[in-house]
Amino acid sequence: MPFALLLLLFLVTGCATTTEDNQETGDDTPVVETGERLIASPPANWQRVYQVNNQTLRLSDFIPSGEEPSNWKTKLSFESHLADQIEIDPLDLLKIDADSAQKNCRATQQFNIYAGYENNYEAAVQLLLCSENINREMGEIALIKAIRGNEHYYVIRLIRRIPPFQPGEHELEDEEIAAWSRYLSRIYVCDDSDTHPCKGGAEN
């Protein structure tokens, strides 16, 4: 698998904007937000299957239309925590996912794709391969992005379940993983300030 290609995609693609997620008004009135927020939306025709929204945690899970919530193959999660609850940097936060995979998978591979700043916020991206999750008897491939905002810590996960595989021999096409990387590169955090501007108007 050409992981150097994925790294190159993150370095050259840059951050474009997407439409805002989790806005449901029930009419045609535009929703205008201020303050720090994640600029992201699920791919077209994906359905939300789970949501949590409280003072400390916001979480929304999406799967493609046609997949069953109890037996999904691909899942996208948007997650945010209050920033003062997490003191570590984005790479260390992603390591928690890697450590969990090592406990639950027969073999794992972890690739730190990107670490730096996006829109003047700390960010990191990791590709995580699980040859077989011993609890589900399925292989898993995840691309995970963490962004440390001033008010919230954001984690975006794209996960695909596939048949068990040997390390380096999974059946997921490199082009699909590259498409994932382009999608995640367009997700960013802003707060309308000069330091963290909201660019607005780009497509998904």
* Mean pLDDT, all residues of the chain: 82
Closest by CA to 145, choosing from 170, 133, 128, 132, is 128
Looking at residue 87, what is its pLDDT? 84
> Is the full-model pTM beyond 0.85?
no
* 163: nearest Cα among 189, 194, 132: 132
Residues contacting residue 102 through CB under 8 Å, at least 6 positions apart: 108
Lowest mean pLDDT among 30-44, 60-74, 164-178: 30-44
Which pLDDT score is estimated for 200? 62
Q: Which of 54, 58, 78, 73 has its CA nearest to residue 144?
A: 78
CA 114, CA 167: separation in Å to the nearest integer?
21
Residue 194 is classified by DSSP as S
> Phi, psi at residue 126, to the nearest 5°?
-135, 140
What does the pLDDT look like over 179-203, one tens digit per residue? Answer: 999 999 999 999 999 999 998 633 3
> Does residue 10 or residue 55 have the better pLDDT?
55
Write down the pLDDT at residue 177. 84
Percentage with pLDDT > 70 across the chain:
81
Q: Ranked by mean pLDDT, which of 2-16, 38-52, 82-96, 171-185 comes out on top?
A: 38-52
CATH 3.40.1000, applies to 3-20+35-190: yes
Query: What token pair was written down for 103?
Result: 């406990």
